[in-house]
């Protein structure tokens, strides 16, 4: 696919360009590429700009589940939950979190440690219900 070729070329020129890295991961995921290619693209995108995890989480979780790696999927959910419940933004507003991200987290919510469940429910009561 030409689009992926251009993204790969862009990242060869500027490896830390996180928008291109994010798009490459999404393209590899949509293409149904081999697990190792998708996982490498995800790792690269998140290493370029960690907050992109919020946008990419549902796709990464589906990749792990598709590879029969539920423990890795849960680890991604935990990583995101720790990140999102501990950070603040300079403007004081909450970030826009896609509903599909919340949906992915809710699927694993019962498996999260109680303190993470409480932190998520406190920070995002509309998505997880107040505890």
pLDDT at 14: 92
How far, in Å, are 75, 98, 105 from residue 120 at the CA level? 16, 15, 10
Evaluate if pTM is beyond 0.85.
yes
Q: What is the pLDDT of residue 130?
A: 56
What is d(CA 126, CA 7) in angstroms, rounded to the nearest whole number? 37
Dmax of the chain from CA atoms? 49
pLDDT of residue 131: 47
Query: Domain spans of the chain?
Result: 1-48, 61-131
Please report the pLDDT score of residue 92 as a whole number.
78
Tell me phi and psi for residue 88, to 5 degrees: -130, 160
pLDDT of the residue at 120 = 96
The DSSP string of 39-55 is HHHHHHHHHH-GGGHHH
pLDDT recorded at residue 113: 98
Q: What is the pLDDT of residue 48?
A: 96
pLDDT, residue 3, reads 83
What's the average pLDDT block by block, 10 residues per block, for the chain (131 residues)? 85 93 96 96 97 97 98 98 90 87 98 97 89 47
């Amino acid at each position: 696919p030409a689009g992926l070729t251009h993204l790969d070329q862009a990242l060869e020129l500027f490896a830390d360009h996180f928008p291109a890295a994010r798009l490459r991961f999404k393209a590899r995921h949509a293409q149904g590429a081999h697990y190792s290619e998708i996982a490498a693209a995800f790792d690269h995108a998140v290493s370029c700009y960690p907050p992109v995890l919020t946008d990419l989480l549902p796709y990464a979780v589906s990749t792990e589940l598709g590879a029969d790696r539920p423990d890795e999927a849960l680890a991604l959910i935990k990583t995101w939950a720790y990140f999102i419940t501990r950070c603040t933004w300079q403007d004081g507003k909450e970030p826009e979190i896609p509903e599909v991200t919340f949906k992915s987290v809710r699927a694993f919510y019962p498996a999260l440690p109680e303190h993470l469940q409480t932190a998520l429910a406190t920070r995002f009561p509309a998505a997880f219900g107040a505890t």
